Amino acid sequence: MSRARSFSKLINKDNYATYRGSDSVTDISAVSLPQGTLNFRNKIINGDMRISQRNSSNQVTPPTNGDTTQTNNYPVDRWFIQNSSGSATIFGQQVTDVPNGNFQHSVKISTTTAINTTQAQQLNFQQRIEGYNVADFGFGSTSAKSMTFSFYVKSNVLGNYGFIIHNGNVCFVSKYEITTEDVWKKVTINLTPQTSYALSNSTNGTGLYINFDLGCGSDFESNNEGWQTGDFKRPINCIKWANNTNATFYITGVQLEEGTVPTPFEHRPYGTELALCQRYYFQNENQYMYFSARNLDNEMAATIPFPVEMRVTPLITKVSDPAGFTFTWNKVCKTCVSGGGTAPSNGYTDVCGVIQASGEL
In whole angstroms, give the CA distance from residue 29 to residue 197.
39
**Strand ranges inside 44-105, DSSP E:** 80-83, 90-95
CB–CB of 344/324 below 8 Å?
yes
Residue scoring higher pLDDT (182 or 354): 182
pLDDT in tens, 333-342: 999 998 888 8
* Spatial CA neighbour of 270 closest among 261, 258, 278: 278
In whole angstroms, give the CA distance from residue 352 to residue 358.
20
CB–CB of 226/185 below 8 Å?
no
Give the model's pLDDT for residue 3: 45
pLDDT in tens, 9-62: 444 444 444 434 444 434 434 444 444 456 899 999 999 999 999 999 999 999
Segment 313-342 mean pLDDT = 87
Segment 296-319 mean pLDDT = 88
Give the model's pLDDT for residue 290: 52
47: alpha, beta or left? (left if phi > 0; alpha if psi -120 to 50): alpha
- Distances in whole angstroms, Cα of residue 33 to Cα of each of 259, 264, 346: 10, 9, 62
Q: State phi, psi for 188 to the nearest 5 degrees.
A: -125, 130
Segment 239-255 mean pLDDT = 98
CB–CB of 110/238 below 8 Å?
no
Segment 99-113 mean pLDDT = 98
CB–CB of 233/102 below 8 Å?
no
Give the model's pLDDT for residue 285: 76
Segment 161-181 mean pLDDT = 97
Rounded to 10 degrees, the C-alpha dihedral 225/260/135/311 comes to 90
In whole angstroms, give the CA distance from residue 4 to residue 23.
12
Q: Please determine, for residue 348, whether its predicted confidence score (pLDDT) is greater than 90.
A: no
In whole angstroms, give the CA distance from residue 354 to residue 343.
16
Segment 234-254 mean pLDDT = 98
Segment 232-238 mean pLDDT = 97
**To the nearest whole number, what is the mean pLDDT of the chain?**
88
Residue scoring higher pLDDT (348 or 259): 259
Range in 212-221, 284-293, 309-318 with the lowest mean pLDDT: 284-293
Res. 288 pLDDT band, cuts 50 70 90: low
Q: Please determine, for residue 273, whether its predicted confidence score (pLDDT) is greater than 90.
A: yes
Q: How many CA atoms does the CB half-sphere of 70 hold within 13 Å?
A: 13
Segment 273-277 mean pLDDT = 98
In whole angstroms, give the CA distance from residue 165 to residue 161.
14
The string of DSSP letters for 27-60 reads: -EEEEEEESS--TT----SSTT----TTTTT--B
Q: Please determine, for residue 64, whether its predicted confidence score (pLDDT) is greater than 50.
A: yes
In whole angstroms, give the CA distance from residue 206 to residue 133.
10
